[in-house]
Amino acid sequence: MADTYTPQKIWTWDAENGGEWAKLNRPIAGATHDKDLPVGEHPLQLYSLATPNGVKVTVMLEELLAAGHAAEYDAWLINIMEGNQFGSGFVDINPNSKIPALRDHDTGSRVFESGAILMYLAEKFDAFLPASGLARTETLNWLFWLQGSAPYLGGGFGHFYAYAPEKFEYPINRFAMEAKRQLDVLNKHLADNEYLAGDTYTIADMATAPWYGRMVKGEAYSAGEFLSVHEYENVIRWNKQVSQRTAYKRGAMVNKAFGPLEGQLRERHSAADFDTNTQDKIEATKS
């Protein structure tokens, strides 16, 4: 390569180097400003944004409600582009300053990391996670597979292919290969299984569909053609089955602040909000 990069002896942070996401990242933890979080009337208080990691949790909450569980919740928008995740109230719940974060006022628990929130809710309500046996093990296999694999898809492939300020062949090739390998892992498994854990819909499906389902639909990073996602027919079948669930559709709208206005429910405090408080209706009242 004509231009090679030689790492400096001691790394130093350049806040201007990193493209459009540079202002979201820094090499230290902690709050940048004092900001209390709002609190609604329900025990479960979610602070999130409808990224794939955020959608996992809102889908789970809507699935719990659809199944008849007492899982009513307030969902508050955390706009990461505005640095909301670095407010002191949010950092108190998640010292890692990443969405989503959950406060359960019934137990006093703070829960951060999307996979941990899914497990917490599944165990709290005894739902969508088999209690024991092979089905539980298989659910956890795939949940932890997703938690370990998705950073390669988002922070790896997605970052270098779509968001990095400059395009470089090596990292794009490296992470494209890994993204396709992961999709092939899923595709082969789903050839013989209706859902990830077998014939039962679980938190593993809720965690994985927002990531790899979006990818095979060609929605993620505008990279469908580049990755030939049409090849993964079993993943496409599975994602269609999961994403057409009413609770999944609702969960995908919560804390959404991008895309068509009718699909955005920036805050959610009751089921009625889906009919009355989507962003298109809010904007209509302003005109």
pLDDT in tens, 161-218: 999 989 999 999 999 999 999 999 999 999 999 999 999 999 999 999 999 999 999 9
Q: Do the domain assignments include residue 179?
A: yes
How high is the pLDDT of residue 19? 65
How crowded is residue 18: how many other Cβ atoms within 10 Å of its Cβ?
17
Residue 8, number of CB atoms within 10 A of its CB: 7
Q: Kindly state whether residue 127 falls inside one of the protein's structural domains.
A: no
Please state, in angstroms and rounded to a whole number, the distance separating the CA atoms of residues 206 and 154.
17
Q: Domain of 241?
A: 133-249
112 with 98: CB under 8 angstroms? yes
Residue 231 lies inside a defined structural domain of this protein: yes
- Is 46 part of a structural domain of the chain? no
Give every residue of the chain whose pLDDT is below 50, as ranges. Answer: 1
> How is residue 105 written in tokens?
């006022």
- Assess if residue 197 is contained within a domain: yes
Assigned domain for 215 exists: yes
Q: Is residue 196 part of a domain?
A: yes
The answer to whether 48 and 240 are in contact (CB under 8 A) is no
- The CB-side HSE value for 245 (13 A sphere, CA atoms) comes to 21
Whether 278 is covered by a domain: the verdict is no
Per-residue pLDDT of 5-30, as tens digits, reads: 899 999 998 877 666 666 788 899 99
Question: 157, 220 in Cβ contact below 8 A?
Answer: no
What pLDDT is stored for residue 18 in this prediction? 63
CATH of the domain at 237: 1.20.1050.10
Give the chain's domain count.
1
